[in-house]
Amino acid sequence: MSDTDTSTAETDDREFVRDTRYITSRVTRDGRDGYPVEAGRYRLIAARACPWANRAIIVRRLLGLEDAISMGLCGPTHDERSWTFDLDPGGVDPVLGYERLQQAYFARFPDYPRGITVPALVDVPSRAVATNDYAQLTLDFSTEWAEFHRHGAPELYPERLRGEMDELMVAVYRDVNNGVYRCGFAGSQRSYDHAYARLWERLDWLENRLADQRYLMGEAITEADVRLFTTLARFDPVYHGHFKCNRQKLSELPVLWAYARDLFQTPGFGDTVDFAQIKRHYYVVHTGVNPTRIVPAGPDLANWLSPHYREQLGGRPFGDGTPPGAPRPAEIVPAEHWAPLPPAW
């Protein structure tokens, strides 16, 4: 997703409103939308800078879908037209042959009127976008793509918990995931104050919920944790100052800070986070918020590796499953872009 595309909107005197009209076709086992699940057919186009795309990167890795779904990464900055493949040699995605993600959208919808967002799942044979419905995409990775999960993959969307999980994820999206944007892009003091109050009310609620249980749904990681984590990982480097979410830093919230570090130090989470790209995206692209495009040097990120002691709450991070293996060599985040992780990672 992009925060300067037409996928988002802001006005001078109203609250920030995100355009959530995504391409709702899905890749399913029965192929009812014309896109059947098929190993090697689709390419996940993501950007490490984007929290919504970071979700898809994490879920793909936790479930072990790397062999079934290839991944292309856009750079952290873009113009009003599209995310670009400037990280690849010659600035061209090696599988799709595109310079811009926009080309995959136009291959299916020549007059596509809305924002060119990541993540997007692209049908490689047609080189056209299949879906950009990021919330449904990761749930489908858990359910529709089960045949291609690695041995020991965790159950990220357990059927017995879906009712409560869905309600929780809606609340977290409204007040936290999108809530930070409603603060940062508020068009008036009144809309900012309202968004700020909702954000901190929900963060306090989450602080209480997680005080006595290791993860949002109990003893094992679920998609709900993935969705909250990508916002928490960006909180101190970006949202606290850039988006004026500054009642406290994440590192000043004892429970949420320990919870976030617990996840960061879990294989599949921290090893997908690129703090350098995150900061560059927000501070360079959001010229309405940061017209100088100066990227701050801080904060110090080494504290992400400090002990969290959440294991004292018990639980099994992957439930009956196992941790994912090391990242693919081509998908390793450059060491200089993040706090260094233990050698085993």
Decide if 98 is catalytic.
no
Question: Strand pairing of 70-73 and 42-46?
Answer: parallel
256 and 202 Cβ atoms separated by less than 8 Å: no
Q: Is 89 exposed, middle or buried (0-12, 13-18, 19+ CB in 10 A)?
A: exposed
Choosing from 22, 105, 157, 181, which is the catalytic residue? 181
Q: Is the peptide bond before 296 cis (omega within 30 degrees of 0)?
A: no
Choosing from 22, 35, 50, 98, which is the catalytic residue? 50
Residues 6+ away with beta carbon under 8 Å from 124? 40, 41, 42, 43, 70, 95, 96
Q: Quick one: how many helices (H) and strands (E) in the chain?
A: 10, 6
Say which DSSP state 341 is in: P
Decide if 181 is catalytic.
yes
337 and 275 Cβ atoms separated by less than 8 Å: yes
256, HSE (Cβ side, Cα atoms, 13 Å) = 24
Q: Which residues are catalytic?
A: 50, 181
